[in-house]
């Protein structure tokens, strides 16, 4: 996950350093979603951690009550687990990005893979456009601009020293991309840059657009303020920042300060900066940040749909890119995600006239009762290893508090003797300042001690060498670790306290009045709406929706959705109040790994659908038949 720097946390850390207190300071380890929100999340590390725990994914998708008439016609093979990200297509070429599990060494091993699709049945790899060493390229976009065919690719740090921002190439000849420039992206607020070092932030998503003779790229910048940044790339060798906007502006408006631009706040406004910081980390559900995740700009370049996580789906008028104006905010957590109250606006795409918008929610806080949490961070210095297990395994230990013994590794907790003998529970190592287990293990007696917060008596005596089993909540993870380590515990097993919730699906909005969008319907798959695995919904699968493209075909409106292990889906959303699934594809690659679709693209008015499979590279599909509409 992308760890955003909270202003309040940086301030606390600076105060701690000033007081020379080596173990004091703010803890970002999120004791409970209702108590403290941790840094903003991105799909990358939670998904990678989920994969690491679960090993090979064996699910081949749910039983769709439709005709599976989405046929694969071509493959660009990259059969490496968890490696391929997004996809874009342009003029007989397709372009795919690279996931964080393969961080660039600067030796043409990562970045953007360029495929010739002149023969869609036999795509061929033309070249690889590498990103900077120590960075990764999740997103890639290509468009014909005033200066020619332009490619932009995102840079996100994935190793020490890797830069953040984006690169620009000319791809008039895709087999010979020409590097034009590299842009470092920083926070728009000068005070945060100068006082706290809020510079060199990564870019997660991009979008190219034009307004007359002027070319632009919109970037999702992973800073504190001004996440939506627009650069003038009319001279692609010399991009200039032209405008910005951030969800903090919504809070300023609520405070009656809408005339203030957060970029202009300084030291004298520090209390207001902290207020905005709190707002940006206090949304809905389990993952509560309000930062921007993705952008879609209309073909005329005058409006932008911002998928702003828990700030909702924001429609901006960007006809003047230097002064974006809010048209509306589509936000309905009660009806849009009724089971768990999540918003997590992840991606969105309008139909041709903007009257229908399909928004995807991404959620990795799912099946918490059975799947261990993968985003828990220890901020303070710690002295013993710690792993997390799911809620139901925690309930087992709470019901059998003493008399069990066994072994803890980085990926599992195994009980070899006692009432729970024979049980093995998946686990995830805590990150941050945890003592890593690596390939090692810790063995001993498991002892349930309860919350283990300051002032709480242990529910059972803990002896040196015991493995403390503690329940999540009430206080920081570091506080729990310090208390059990103080009496000699050899390791800590942190038991989650969250009930099982589902993954996530789509929200379909009626934008007949763009200033007042109405939630028309939601759409989920069998597995994405399930609160627990079972049947064809494998506990090792990933069933969150991901990216979406919408196309208007005559009087029909279709949505094409990449849905991880649920496959590639085609929906008829002509009536946004009654979406109908037309087609779906799930399968395996040439070496037997399951398809795991991250990206989707559709060139307007062409028959082919391009899919990016994390495990298999590029797929090209063609919809066959009318679909059963089940």
pLDDT band, residue 112 (cuts 50/70/90): very high
Does residue 50 register a pLDDT over 90?
no
Q: Taking residues 266-293, what's their average pLDDT?
A: 95
pLDDT tens column, 136-156: 898 999 999 999 999 999 999
Q: Report the b/e string of 190-209 with b at 16+ CB within 10 A.
A: ebbeebbebebbbbbbbbbb
Q: Which residue has the higher pLDDT, 54 or 625?
A: 625
Q: What is the pLDDT of residue 627?
A: 42
Average pLDDT in the chain: 88
Strand pairing category for 467-471 and 442-450 = parallel
pLDDT band, residue 49 (cuts 50/70/90): low
pLDDT band, residue 68 (cuts 50/70/90): low
Tokens of residue 461, six digits: 């005596």
Does residue 39 register a pLDDT over 70?
no
Distance in angstroms (rounded) separating the CA atoms of residues 180 and 106: 17
Does residue 191 register a pLDDT over 90?
yes
Q: Are 41 and 289 in contact, with CB atoms under 8 Å apart?
A: yes
Q: Which residue has the higher pLDDT, 54 or 71?
A: 71
Does residue 261 register a pLDDT over 70?
yes
CATH number of 54-367+500-623: 2.130.10.10
Q: Taking residues 92-98, what's their average pLDDT?
A: 96
Q: Taking residues 430-454, what's their average pLDDT?
A: 91
Of 95, 204, 193, nearest to 156 by C-alpha is 204
Lowest mean pLDDT among 105-114, 119-128, 193-202: 105-114
Q: What is the pLDDT of residue 629?
A: 37
Tokens 């090692």, residue located: 440
Does residue 393 register a pLDDT over 80?
yes
Q: What is the pLDDT of residue 62?
A: 38
Q: What is the pLDDT of residue 535?
A: 87
Residue 389 contacts by C-beta under 8 Å, 6 or more apart in sequence? 372, 413, 425, 426, 427, 493, 494, 495, 496
Q: Are 41 and 342 in contact, with CB atoms under 8 Å apart?
A: no
Share of the chain above pLDDT 90, in %: 75
Lowest mean pLDDT among 223-227, 461-465, 498-502, 606-610: 498-502
Of 551, 512, 41, 598, nearest to 293 by C-alpha is 41
Reported as type and span, the H/E element at residue 45 is helix 44-54
Q: Highest mean pLDDT: which of 110-114, 334-338, 345-349?
A: 345-349
Three state DSSP letters for 360-376: EECCCCCCCCCCCCCCC
Share of the chain above pLDDT 70, in %: 88
Q: φ, ψ for residue 477 (rounded to 5)?
A: -60, -40
pLDDT tens column, 291-323: 999 999 999 999 999 999 999 999 999 999 999
pLDDT band, residue 378 (cuts 50/70/90): confident
Q: What is the pLDDT of residue 45?
A: 52
Q: What is the pLDDT of residue 47?
A: 56
Domain ranges of the chain: 7-39+368-495, 54-367+500-623
Of 309, 182, 296, nearest to 236 by C-alpha is 182
Does residue 399 register a pLDDT over 50?
yes
Distance in angstroms (rounded) separating the CA atoms of residues 343 and 64: 25
Report the predicted TM-score, pTM, of the whole model to 2 decimal places.
0.87
Q: What is the pLDDT of residue 10?
A: 59
pLDDT band, residue 368 (cuts 50/70/90): confident
Does residue 1 register a pLDDT over 80?
no
Tokens of residue 99, six digits: 């996931």
Lowest mean pLDDT among 118-122, 164-168, 621-625: 621-625
Q: What is the pLDDT of residue 65?
A: 42
pLDDT tens column, 543-597: 999 999 999 999 999 999 999 999 999 999 999 999 999 999 999 999 999 999 9
């Amino acid at each position: 996950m992308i760890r955003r720097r909270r202003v309040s946390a940086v301030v606390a850390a600076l105060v701690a350093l000033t007081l020379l207190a080596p173990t004091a300071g703010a803890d970002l380890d999120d004791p409970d979603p209702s108590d403290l929100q941790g840094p903003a999340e991105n799909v990358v590390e939670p998904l990678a951690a989920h994969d690491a725990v679960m090993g090979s994914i064996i699910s081949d998708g749910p039983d769709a009550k439709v005709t599976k008439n989405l046929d694969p016609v071509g493959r660009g093979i990259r059969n490496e687990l968890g490696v391929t990200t997004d996809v874009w297509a342009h003029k007989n070429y397709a372009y795919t990005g690279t996931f964080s599990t393969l961080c660039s060494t600067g030796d043409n091993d990562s970045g953007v893979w360029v495929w010739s699709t002149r023969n869609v049945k036999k795509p061929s790899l033309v070249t690889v456009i590498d990103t900077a060493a120590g960075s990764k390229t999740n997103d890639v976009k290509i468009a014909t601009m005033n200066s020619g065919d332009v490619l932009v690719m995102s840079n996100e740090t994935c190793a020490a020293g890797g830069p953040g921002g984006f690169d620009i190439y000319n791809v008039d000849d895709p087999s010979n991309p020409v590097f034009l420039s590299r842009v470092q992206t920083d926070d728009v607020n000068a005070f945060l840059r100068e006082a706290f070092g809020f510079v060199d932030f990564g870019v997660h998503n991009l979008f190219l657009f034009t307004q007359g003779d002027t070319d632009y790229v919109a970037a999702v910048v992973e800073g504190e303020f001004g996440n939506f940044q627009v650069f003038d790339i009319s001279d692609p060798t010399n991009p200039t920042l032209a405008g910005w906007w951030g969800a903090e502006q919504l809070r300023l408006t609520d405070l009656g300060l809408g005339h203030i631009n957060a970029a202009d706040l300084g030291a004298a406004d520090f209390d207001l900066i902290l207020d905005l910081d709190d707002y940006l980390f206090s949304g809905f559900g389990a993952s509560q940040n309000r930062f921007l995740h993705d952008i879609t700009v209309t073909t005329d370049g005058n409006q932008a749909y911002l998928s702003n996580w828990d700030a909702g789906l924001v429609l901006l008028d960007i006809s003047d890119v230097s002064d974006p104006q809010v048209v509306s905010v589509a936000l309905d957590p009660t009806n849009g995600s009724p089971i768990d109250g999540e918003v997590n606006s992840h991606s969105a795409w309008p139909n041709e006239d903007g009257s229908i918008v399909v928004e995807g929610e991404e959620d990795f806080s799912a099946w918490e009762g059975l799947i261990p949490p993968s985003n828990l961070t220890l901020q303070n210095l710690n002295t013993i290893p710690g792993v997390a297990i799911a809620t139901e395994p925690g309930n087992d230990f709470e019901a059998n508090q003493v008399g069990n013994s066994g072994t803890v590794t980085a990926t599992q907790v195994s009980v070899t003797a006692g009432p729970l003998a024979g049980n093995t529970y998946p686990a995830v190592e805590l990150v941050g300042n945890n003592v890593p287990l690596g390939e090692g293990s810790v063995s001993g007696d498991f002892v349930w001690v309860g919350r283990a917060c300051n002032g709480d008596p242990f529910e059972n005596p803990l002896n040196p060498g015991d493995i403390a089993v503690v329940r999540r909540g009430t206080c920081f993870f570091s506080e729990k670790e310090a208390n059990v380590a103080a009496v000699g515990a050899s390791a800590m097993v942190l038991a989650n306290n969250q009930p099982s919730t589902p993954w996530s699906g789509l929200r379909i909005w009626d934008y007949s009045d763009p200033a007042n969008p109405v939630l028309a319907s939601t759409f989920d798959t069998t597995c994405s709406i399930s609160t627990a695995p079972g049947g064809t919904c494998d506990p090792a699968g990933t069933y969150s929706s991901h990216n979406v493209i919408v196309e208007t075909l005559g009087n029909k409106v279709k949505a094409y959705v990449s849905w991880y292990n649920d496959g590639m889906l085609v929906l008829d959303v002509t009536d946004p109040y009654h979406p109908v699934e037309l087609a779906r594809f799930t399968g395996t690659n040439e070496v037997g790994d399951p398809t795991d679709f991250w990206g989707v693209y559709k060139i307007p008015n062409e028959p082919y659908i391009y899919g990016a499979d994390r495990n298999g590279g590029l797929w090209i599909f063609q919809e066959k038949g009318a679909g059963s509409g089940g």
